[in-house]
Structure 1
Amino acid sequence: MLGKFVYSNPTKLYFGENSLENLPQELACYGKNVMLVYGGGSIKKNGIYENVVKLLRVSGKTVFEDAGVMPNPTLEKLYEGCRIAKENKVDLILAVGGGSVCDYA
């Protein structure tokens, strides 16, 4: 053990129809910089991407994207996401997509 410490890693997941209705109230709890994480682009094809980005901008957030999360993301991809988050002092990682995207975020 590394000594005495406290570790907290809260995660909140919304699933299902109309889940985006909860996003504005959640965004109010975080700082300005948001990293939007998604996979191969299906969220762009089905229109969710545009809706999420619109809600982020209306909420005054600066968006940094980490796209292309694949099933069973590689360590190299994870390091890329860590770099984006650190360089941009991200306050919130917002995963939009399936299980791999949620696990990755």
Structure 2
Amino acid sequence: MLGNFEYCNPTKLYFGEDSLSYLNQELKKYGSNILFIYGGGSIKKNGIYDEVMKILQDNGKIVSEVSGVMPNPTLEKLYEGIDIARKNDIDFILAVGGGSVCDYAKAVSVSIYCDGDPWEKYYIRFEETTCPIVPVGCVLTMVGTGSEMNGGAVITNHETKMKIGHVFGEDVMPKFAILNP
């Protein structure tokens, strides 16, 4: 092996056919108000949406939703998620989907209490977080990006024709990731 490096991955991984059941124990660690984020709706077709909602309801969670997160999530969509999270006093964000959904959840998590415009602060000036960060957990439905266990968040600004990723520190990494092959 060449060179020196430091590696830290604080994300707890649950893997296996029954791994979604671990969501029950993880939810107990967080407040009541959950922001449930997902993509175009395939989770409703394959039944994962209903399974996750049942677990959330069984744990007494108050659920707000952001649906329709697209590949390479947009700045407009980010502002929508921030607005919903602020209006509902979100304690925890649950991303159910692929890498873009996980990226989007992390971008929302650092932006809810952000002073100023998150695009300017995080994606133009690449500032580090100085505000409270809402924790994120991921239920992965598509593998490949590693977004479920890193601090990266890519956002696309169509107005400026820019797609920019910011890799945040370990405090932004998802607290857990559930992977059912």
If the length of structure 2 is used for normalisation, what is the TM-score? Answer: 0.50
Query: Bigger relative contact order, structure 1 or 2, given CA contacts below 8 A and separation 6+?
Result: 1
Matches within 5 A, 1:45-84: 45-84=45-84
CA distance in 1, matches of 2:81, 2:16: 26
> Closer, same or farther in 2 for the Cα pair 1:28/1:66, shift >3 Å?
same
Higher helix share: 1
> Would you say how many aligned residue pairs link Structure 1 and Structure 2?
96
Tell me the alpha carbon deviations over residues 37-83 of structure 1, each in whole angstroms, 9 at most, x when there is no partner.
Answer: 00000000100000000000000000000000000000000010011
CA distance in 2, matches of 1:65, 1:38: 8
* SS across alignment from 1:96: strand
Q: 5+ residue gaps in structure 2?
A: 1-9, 106-181
RMSD of aligned residue pairs (Cα, Å) = 1.6
Q: 5+ residue gaps in structure 1?
A: 1-9
TM-superposed deviation, 1:95: 0.2
Higher strand share: 2
* SS across alignment from 2:86: helix
CA distance in 1, matches of 2:104, 2:12: 14
How high is the sequence identity, in percent, across the aligned residues?
Answer: 70
> Closer, same or farther in 2 for the Cα pair 1:60/1:80, shift >3 Å?
same
Matches within 5 A, 1:18-37: 18-37=18-37
- 1:41 is matched with 41
CA distance in 1, matches of 2:64, 2:11: 19
Tell me the alpha carbon deviations over residues 11-44 of structure 1, each in whole angstroms, 9 at most, x when there is no partner.
Answer: 6565653331110111000000000000000000
> Closer, same or farther in 2 for the Cα pair 1:13/1:64, shift >3 Å?
farther
CA distance in 2, matches of 1:35, 1:14: 21
> Closer, same or farther in 2 for the Cα pair 1:69/1:36, shift >3 Å?
same
- 2:97 is matched with 97
> Closer, same or farther in 2 for the Cα pair 1:43/1:16, shift >3 Å?
farther
The amino acid across from 1:44 in the alignment is K
Structure whose CA Rg is larger: 2
> Closer, same or farther in 2 for the Cα pair 1:63/1:12, shift >3 Å?
farther
